[in-house]
Structure 1
Amino acid sequence: MKPKASPKTDQSTVRQRIVDMAARLFHQQGYNQTGINQLIEEAGVAKASLYQHFKTKDDVLQAYLAQVSQDWFRQVERAIAPLDTPKEKVLALFDLLKSFLESVDFRGCNFQNALVELPPAELNTRQLIRGHKTKMSQVITDLLADADPDLAAQISLLFEGALITSQLYHSVEPVNAARRIVERLL
């Protein structure tokens, strides 16, 4: 006999199903092109269940981006942990970026994609996006703590530029070019 799930487990499963479906739909279609009714239907939840967990579609977007950010930084940690030198670790970030872009068929950065769809007055999601990008810059700054502080800022810009340019051209070549520049700089 299968044990009955607790209401708390059921609720967290429903919430996670909504966030997981939002991740897929927002990343594939975009935030503005994904309707709340489509999200409800494809997540297989009742409208009341969605609104029990999220007051607005913006709240769903924020939960999705928070989850993506946590997942990304876990991947960053796994990618750099076994390496010894700051140079190896920074270059590994570009390798991770290349793998990510290929895995999403060059759909690009979840955060950049969401940012361009937000109205200027939507500050909470913008703050979340800024926090993610600041944390990524801080990772690079921390790895290059013994280097000129401007170097970390330059490499962060190369990272972000390679990310958006790869999406534009549907190619890893911008990431490869940025990686070569970083290799020379370090």
Structure 2
Amino acid sequence: MSKPRERILNTSMILFHQQGYNSTGINQIIEEADVSKASFYQHFKSKDDLCIEFFNKRFKYWVSELENFTSGAKTLEEKFLKSFDFLIYMNQKEDFRGCSFLNIMSEIPVDKIEIHKIIRDHKATLRDSFHKDLKNDILAAHLYLLFESCILTSQLYRSNELIEKSKLIVQNLLQSSLSH
């Protein structure tokens, strides 16, 4: 059996992602992780602290999966098209659950400053990676906004249709931008 901290974090990875923040109680986490309340609080001061750990682990997992998915790309265009294919893959894998960061952000009040900051920091890291690859601020912002909106709209409609359409937009944008 794994260590209590790992069990708590692994349990929260499932529950926060599937149920959200507000619908997941500490008592449920404690019960499903098979730890005592004292053990929970020994490892995490609060549910907010656990949520921050969840975000860090979720981001690391998600970026690793994205990098693995796009690693075979031979061109920048192929890499970005594969990144949109990755969204389709994740929708199939996670039943259109969407972005844990944005889902939880919509649940929590603005006074949970640390949680909002970690969400912004992770989103900024993703946004910066678009800019780093494209070296064109407007194009990077455009593709980043398409990428994020694909996550939201595919969750809303439980469909990959707009991801497929966005791939055509991305292809057109990249071809016209990279040819200049």
- TM bucket by the smaller chain? over 0.9
Taking the aligned partners of 1:156 and 1:38, their CA distance within structure 2 comes to: 36
Q: Where do 1:1-150 residues align within 5 Å? A: 13-145=3-135, 148-150=136-138
Letter in 1 for 2:83: L
Report the Cα distance in structure 2 between the residues aligned to 1:107 and 1:86, rounded to whole angstroms: 28
Q: What does residue range 135-174 of structure 1 map to in structure 2 within 5 Å?
A: 135-145=125-135, 148-174=136-162
Of 163, 167, 175, the residue aligned with 1:179 is 167
C-alpha separation in 2, matches of 1:115 and 1:167: 15
TM-score, length of structure 2 as denominator length: 0.92
CA–CA distance in structure 2, aligned partners of residues 29 and 78 of structure 1: 27
Q: Where does the alignment leave 5 or more consecutive residues of structure 2 unmatched?
A: 175-180
The 3-state SS of whatever aligns with 2:21 is coil
Map Cα deviations across residues 127-153 of structure 1 (whole Å, 9 max, x no partner): 1111111111112112212xx320110
Q: Which amino acid aligns with 2:161?
A: E
User: Which stretches in structure 1 are left out of the alignment for 5+ residues?
Assistant: none
Residues 90 and 143 of structure 1 are in contact (CA less than 8 Å); yes or no, is this contact kept in structure 2?
A: no
Q: Which moved more, 1:76-85 or 1:154-163?
A: 76-85
Q: Which has the higher mean CA deviation after the structures are superposed, 20-29 or 158-167?
A: 20-29
What is the root-mean-square deviation in Å for CA atoms of aligned residues? 1.3
Q: Tell me by how many angstroms 1:80 deviates.
A: 2.5
Q: Would you say how many aligned residue pairs link Structure 1 and Structure 2?
A: 174
Supply the distance in 2 between the matched residues of 1:58 and 1:101 (Cα, whole angstroms): 27
Q: Which runs of 4+ in 1 moved over 4 A?
A: none
Shift, 1:185, TM fit = 0.8
Q: Percent identity?
A: 42
- CA-CA distance at 1:68 after TM superposition: 0.5
CA distance in 2, matches of 1:29, 1:117: 11
